[in-house]
Amino acid sequence: MGRRNGVLELAVLGLLHESPLHGYELRKRLNTVLGSFRALSYGSLYPALRDMQAKGWICEDGDGPERAGRRAKVIYKLTADGKEHFQELLCEAGPASWEDENFGVHFAFFAQTDAETRMRILEGRRSRLEERVHGFRTALTRTRERLDGYTAELQRHGLESVEREVRWLDELIATEQATRTTTADRSRPPTTATTDVARTAVRTSYMEEKE
């Protein structure tokens, strides 16, 4: 399966995991929610839907009876196998998930992705972009004397765009780390020292009330 088909597969299964959708609504959601699919056509969507049906990941469900010769709208739903496959796709955190086309789709379903996978994808994406920043800076240094003003400005714009995304990723990673630390602190049983302090405070309060 080509890279774009793989991304489309994840996006379709993810949207159908949220709710059943008919073809037009599914295409509209793909075009508006996922920027990389704004040029998505029926010609590319429906073959992908048929392929996923053949694999048993989605099924069709007619929306009401036919009227005056008009076909009922076909609602696409996720099957049990489709839900399982979607979860498998969400757990993928290798280099492919860091690439420009794939990262946005994975990020769109981060709310349904486990924390460890989210962190691996974010750190991988940051590492990839830091390599790109280094490449931009090296190219600017080497070619600065030979570039006209417009081309140099275009390269600077590209560098600044990547640097902004790196800073954004830094913030996301810091938030993920803080959330994990807070969760770990809440689930950690109190230490003996902490318990003793708490008992002392309760005993002191009790004695003060008696007096």
In terms of DSSP bridges, do strands 58-63 and 73-78 run parallel, antiparallel, or are they unpaired?
Answer: antiparallel
Higher-pLDDT residue of 128, 145: 128
Cα 209 to Cα 206: distance, rounded to the nearest angstrom: 5
Q: Between vectors from CA 199 to CA 194 and to CA 205, what angle results, nearest 5°? A: 130
Cα 154 to Cα 132: distance, rounded to the nearest angstrom: 15
Domain spans in the chain, listed from the N-terminal domain onward: 3-104, 114-187
Q: Residue 24: pLDDT above 90? A: no
Give the pLDDT mean for 5-24: 90
Cα 122 to Cα 119: distance, rounded to the nearest angstrom: 5
What pLDDT is stored for residue 45 in this prediction? 84
Query: With contact defined as beta carbons under 8 Å apart, do 131 and 147 qualify?
Result: no
Give the pLDDT mean for 42-60: 89
The predicted model scores a pTM of 0.75
Structure tokens given for 52: 């996923």
Domain 3-104 falls under CATH 1.10.3720.10: no
What pLDDT is stored for residue 156 in this prediction? 87
Digit-coded pLDDT (tens) for 77-126: 999 999 999 999 999 999 999 988 889 889 999 999 999 999 999 999 99
